[in-house]
Structure 1
């Protein structure tokens, strides 16, 4: 899949501006929502325990089974149902990695499908923690997510010591799901260059906490080039 050039304006529409730090207070959440509105992002991603929340016009993304995924499917289903009741527009669920590592793909698919059924009409993303998986496990996890009716596959929670999003994983995930599902890159994405690389690899959504910093440097190369051109036109 070939992606066109990503602009800052388009990035704002596909960035899930994220606050998932444990111990977040109500005051910190409110300040985060104010900043999100000022930045102009389309979505915010927060912990389900912080819902309901005033997102000031943005859609709300929340996480279930977070961050380990080592929860019974029934717990993820209950968490999903409560999140939807509390205003979540999108659900990012963490897959059970033990089932993935054991190659129990029917069980992986069943768990995802159960969460899918708990959030009808909502966008469902499946976090596979790609940095901790083999290529085969990444591919099979993506296939299970698609078979279970997910809308996106997502690289990472951002909390696993194995690491976050990588170009290799995003490219592999995008090749597996084609244009049938979206691919959300998340975890350790802090620069415009990283966003552009992952976009070129096939990412169609981003989970980022440093959104403002990424946007601030977006046009830096153009600004530097313009300054250099101006300097070259000066008379000495």
Structure 2
């Protein structure tokens, strides 16, 4: 098990500059990380910066609130793919989920997946805002909508990934989707524990210090 193969090296700060995105990509290439994860406005620059490497490019959609219209999320996803993204990390509509509007939640995820075709779709649940029952439902709806991953957090909510949430998500997707732990993963021991729990990706801005 090589930790670098699990890391989505991430900079989603609103203050991120082009120079910082170029540095993020440079680090990802140096350490051989699985992917970088950036906001939509940086996709073209990141694609150019990753040229010639095996590092994948992930872009966030409906970030960080998830409360945009479905049409806006679909457009954003298509736009990111057109500019070179390999993977899409979308935020679920949390208000719809909490209001038991399951058909709308499922259809939104499915629509984005259809829009990006064979590109990977990771669905961010933002677990810190959800009850256990809501987390379970979110996982089931994501699987029904053909998402490739369920992901714990944006890193911008009131809490990040927890071992308990990952164990619950792993149980609920039952092998039909993969798991990404994100938010607050800052040391090697924590990262390894997540991998032992069955996580296949870790979103972190601390990638270099985790693998050094």
Q: What's the TM-score once normalised by structure 1's chain length?
A: 0.85
Unaligned runs of 5+ residues in structure 2 are none
Is 2:88 the counterpart of 1:88? no
- Once residues 20 and 200 of structure 2 are traced to their aligned partners in structure 1, the CA distance between those partners, rounded to angstroms, is 29
1:94 CA drift (Å): 0.1
The answer for the alignment partner of 2:178 in structure 1 is 182
Report the secondary structure of 1:71's partner residue. Answer: coil
Report the secondary structure of 2:88's partner residue. Answer: strand
Is 2:28 the counterpart of 1:36? yes
Is 2:119 the counterpart of 1:122? yes
Report the secondary structure of 1:158's partner residue. Answer: coil
1:87 CA drift (Å): 0.3
Is 2:165 the counterpart of 1:164? no
Unaligned runs of 5+ residues in structure 1 are 1-6, 217-236
Structure 1 runs of 4+ off > 2 angstroms?
none
The answer for the alignment partner of 2:17 in structure 1 is 25
Report the secondary structure of 1:125's partner residue. Answer: strand
RMSD of aligned alpha carbons:
1.0
The answer for the alignment partner of 1:112 in structure 2 is 109
1:13 CA drift (Å): 1.5
1:201 CA drift (Å): 2.2
1:17–1:208 CA contact under 8 A, matched in 2: yes
Q: What's the TM-score once normalised by structure 2's chain length?
A: 0.95
The answer for the alignment partner of 1:15 in structure 2 is 7
Larger mean Cα displacement after TM superposition, 46-55 or 167-176 = 46-55
1:184–1:204 CA contact under 8 A, matched in 2: yes
1:59 CA drift (Å): 1.1
Length, aligned pairs only: 207
2:59–2:80 CA contact under 8 A, matched in 1: yes
Which digits, 9 at most, give the CA deviation of each residue in 1:54-78, with x for residues without a partner?
Answer: 2242110010000000110000000
The answer for the alignment partner of 1:234 in structure 2 is none
- Once residues 98 and 203 of structure 1 are traced to their aligned partners in structure 2, the CA distance between those partners, rounded to angstroms, is 26
Map 1:91-102 → 2, pairs under 5 A: 91-102=88-99
The answer for the alignment partner of 1:226 in structure 2 is none
The answer for the alignment partner of 2:151 in structure 1 is 154
